[in-house]
Amino acid sequence: ETGVTQTPRHLVMGMTNKKSLKCEQHLGHNAMYWYKQSAKKPLELMFVYNFKEQTENNSVPSRFSPECPNSSHLFLHLHTLQPEDSALYLCASSQEATGTYNEQFFGPGTRLTVL
Amino acid sequence: AQSVAQPEDQVNVAEGNPLTVKCTYSVSGNPYLFWYVQYPNRGLQFLLKYITGDNLVKGSYGFEAEFNKSQTSFHLKKPSALVSDSALYFCAVRDLGSGNTPLVFGKGTRLSVIA
């Protein structure tokens, strides 16, 4: 898991707080992803960045705001969240190229609790 | 749109016995198929993938999976289970027939290996 790191590992926030999740990949990949993992539900893809450009936004509420300043770093800015947003947020990266589909490497996740 | 189903929420097996974790998929074109494992408080780890070629794919930790096109299945198997194999297993599919589609995950199957 040293390939993809996430901070913080745990976060408790109130509904009026603003916080950010950070992800860093040390694998030289060109694509990064945010997923939401809730109990007994499939992994939900939230955002995809390819070459720092956002290519996927799966109808995620605007209270989640991604930022990808370079190909190694990915942020998820959070504000005015709801208790149902409590979940494990996973970051992943992969090397994407035309005609190939490579596996994604995941970070350990940030366990978010919204009070 | 592609989809993947893991029909079992929980699989229990005795240590030393063979194990199977089931996965079926639906795609419009040809599938890329993946298995991931998630240990407690960790991110997902890549186990193996099928892209093309031999229907039997070998992966990490002694796991293998068999691609069956007629049954649209990609079951994960291991000849002899270990207690340390106890974890949450995810099947995922990517549809080659629908352009640049994202990876779609199943809801996961919890494997419990009993000593």
Q: What is the pLDDT of residues B58-106, one digit of tens each?
A: 999 999 999 999 999 999 999 999 999 999 999 999 887 666 678 899 9
A-chain CB neighbours of B59 within 8 Å are: none
| Cis preceding-peptide flag for A8 (omega within 30 of 0) | yes
CB B103 within 8 A of CB B93: yes
The pLDDT assigned to A1 comes to 47
| pLDDT reported for residue B55 | 92
Rounded CA gap, A51 and A35, in Å?
A: 18
- Higher pLDDT: A103 or A55? It is A103
Residue with the bigger pLDDT between B2 and B83: it is B83
At residue B41, the pLDDT reads 81
Inter-chain touch A42–B108, beta carbons under 8 Å: yes
Among A4-8, A49-53, B33-37, B45-49, where is mean pLDDT lowest? A49-53
Closest CA to A108 of B111, B49, B40: B40
Measured between CA atoms, how close is A63 to chain B, in angstroms? 23
Tell me the mean pLDDT in the region A70-86: 94
Which amino acid appears at position B44 of this protein? L
Average pLDDT, chain B: 93
Instruction: Suggest the residue from A90, A101, A105, A112 to mutate for an interface test with chain B (most B CBs closer than 10 A).
Output: A101
Please report the pLDDT score of residue B110 as a whole number. 96
User: What share of chain A in percent tops pLDDT 90?
Assistant: 70
CB atoms under 10 Å from CB of B27, counted, come to 21
Residues 6 or more apart whose CB falls under 8 angstroms from that of A107 comprise A1, A4, A5, A6, A23, A25, A90, A91, A92, B43
The pLDDT value given to residue A65: 93
* A28-32, A72-76, B2-6, B101-105, range with the lowest pLDDT: B101-105
What are the φ/ψ torsions at residue A21 (nearest 5 degrees)? -100, 140
pLDDT digits (tens, 9 = 90+) for A29-58: 999 999 999 987 888 999 998 876 777 677
A105 pLDDT higher than 70: yes
